[in-house]
Amino acid sequence: MSFVLTTPLYYVNDKPHLGSVYTTIICDCIARFKRLLGEDVIFITGVDEHGLKIQRTAQEKNIEAKTHCDEISEIFNLNWKKWDISFDKFIRTSSKNHELIVNEFYERVKASGDIYMGVQKGWYCVGCEEFKDNPENSSSYKCPIHQKNLEWKNEENLFFRLSKYQKQIEKIINEPSFIVPIERRNEIVNFVSRGLKDFSISRTNVSWGIPVPGYGNHTFYVWFDALLGYISAISSNSPDPSLEKSINGGWPADIHLIGKDILRFHAVYWPAMLISAGIKVPKKVLGHGFLTREGQKMGKSLGNVLDPDQLLSKYGNDPVRWYLIKDISLGNDGDFQDKRFVDIINNDLANTIGNLLNRTSSMSRKWFDNKVPIIEKKSNTNKLENFANIAVKNYLQKFDIYKLDLAANEVLNLAINTNLYLNDNQPWLLIKEKDNLPLVKEIIYNVLESTRIIGLLLLPLLPELSSKINEQLGSIYKKEIPWKKQLSWGLLINNSSLPKPSPIINKLEYEQ
């Protein structure tokens, strides 16, 4: 059994923004965590390439839609490599294998009697690719999200009988584990309780899309196309991909991680489409919040868009990851603040974790011949061992329910407690008395051992920093031994060599 998790398939009208980087980093942490637990992970990301908006963007650039998509898709693909994202599949919805699977899926839904021809009239937002309710109630015919004029549409479309699945969808969304966090579930429960309406799954004026078999000028509605990417990705490397192969290859997804703006498509439309096609629904949909900057919504017109590329080149991967993971409670909205960012990185990573490692390793090298001390006798109670064991237990628990911020805080708290232990025991004073040597050895060993565990706990969160910590302890993560086992206390080898320490993370300067 595989553990399948997905980012949204990102829309290729522009290069990745901070929100996409955030979602993808969170998915990456979960994927790494599950792999460390020994699970067979399929981590899917990719791009959603069809639709009117892309068609128009390409027209504006005076190039073919395909050329535009090739360009932006490549940017996404390279971007995730730059961020060291451990994805297994990168699906493009303009690929041939994806089209095959959309067609197969459509045939199944049709065979269930859930497709019919109807007339679609209404106000449409091209940005959202969605019809909007009752614009006459608002002062302008504008999309509240995009602030762009809505377009009136009146055309023959194929419809999907969503209304038929009212009861089944109610049952699924009332399952507490299906939509998280709970605020998101409540929004969807409200929406569904107003009664599900059939929605159109084809367009007649969009040439950049997958043609609907048997309906000359119709192409599939982007969502009836893009959502299938999660399934087509699974068999994308197979010489003859098919729906059946994908389903047998790991479906259903264990978790779809998405922004809250596209929750309705994932938690309502998608499960209904899947039931209609006789396919299992995903196990969980996690809708995270939006990111603001210094308390303000980011937008091109405001000129305050934070470019993730610049963040990466200025600060590096680990600091950005740490801030996004630790400072934002997954599911809630988050705010990016420059000063706060610098403070958190300096406090948590440079001072609390980095200095702890550096000064302890330096003491040990100085007093014990560049080595980890040999413990001669053990005290009956070891405070630090208890702290570490509790931290590991809590961390695993929090990670398991996707409370990544709380898991990160467990690691940080262990580091804080380790610093306190060191300061309380003051081995630099004890060492002056020869009789204290066994005690000093024990203290230094405990601190180094706790730091080793901190390093290992950081492995799914901050892979780079984690490796640096453990390299500096001369105790790297060993693939052949289960990770959980390596989190047990007491595995740092007595009398093993300690490499010369160097700062594992640089302090950041705050520039106004």
Question: Least Å distance between CB 345 and Zn ion?
Answer: 35
CB of 128 or CB of 430, closer to Zn ion = 128
Binding of Zn ion by 128 (CB under 5 A): yes
Binding of Zn ion by 146 (CB under 5 A): yes
Phi, psi of 345 (to 5 degrees): -65, -45
* Segment lying near Zn ion (by CB under 5 A), choices 19-27, 125-133, 219-227, 474-482: 125-133
Output the CA torsion sign for 485, 489, 495, 499. Answer: positive
Q: Is 69 exposed, middle or buried (0-12, 13-18, 19+ CB in 10 A)?
A: buried
Question: Least Å distance between CB 132 and Zn ion?
Answer: 8
CB 421 within 8 A of CB 383: yes
Binding of Zn ion by 122 (CB under 5 A): no
Q: Draw the binding track, 342-381, toward Zn ion (x: CB under 5 A; -: no contact).
A: ----------------------------------------
Binding of Zn ion by 147 (CB under 5 A): no
Phi, psi of 140 (to 5 degrees): -135, 160
Task: List the interface residues with Zn ion, window 68-87 (CB under 5 A).
Answer: none
The beta-carbon contacts of 425-432 under 8 Å, at least 24 apart in sequence, are 427/363, 428/363, 431/367
CB 188 within 8 A of CB 267: yes
Binding of Zn ion by 52 (CB under 5 A): no
> Distance between CA 229 and CA 225 in Å, rounded?
7
Question: Least Å distance between CB 477 and Zn ion?
Answer: 45
CB of 54 or CB of 243, closer to Zn ion = 54
CB of 145 or CB of 182, closer to Zn ion = 145
Residues 6+ apart with CB under 8 A from 169: 192, 196, 268, 271, 272
Binding of Zn ion by 145 (CB under 5 A): yes
Question: Least Å distance between CB 133 and Zn ion?
Answer: 12
The separation between CA 445 and the C-alpha centre of its own chain, rounded to angstroms, equals 36
Question: Least Å distance between CB 127 and Zn ion?
Answer: 4
* Segment lying near Zn ion (by CB under 5 A), choices 26-34, 100-108, 141-149, 287-295: 141-149
> Distance between CA 369 and CA 350 in Å, rounded?
26
CB of 125 or CB of 344, closer to Zn ion = 125
Binding of Zn ion by 143 (CB under 5 A): yes
Question: Least Å distance between CB 48 and Zn ion?
Answer: 15
Question: Least Å distance between CB 191 and Zn ion?
Answer: 17
* Segment lying near Zn ion (by CB under 5 A), choices 57-65, 119-127, 203-211, 449-457: 119-127
CB of 145 or CB of 302, closer to Zn ion = 145
Binding of Zn ion by 222 (CB under 5 A): no
The separation between CA 262 and the C-alpha centre of its own chain, rounded to angstroms, equals 15
Question: Least Å distance between CB 335 and Zn ion?
Answer: 23
CB of 127 or CB of 316, closer to Zn ion = 127
The separation between CA 137 and the C-alpha centre of its own chain, rounded to angstroms, equals 37
Output the CA torsion sign for 176, 181, 183, 184. Answer: negative
Phi, psi of 490 (to 5 degrees): 100, 15
Residue whose C-alpha is closest to residue 251's, from 235, 267, 231, 232: 231
Residues forming contacts to Zn ion in the complex (CB under 5 A) are 125, 127-128, 143, 145-146
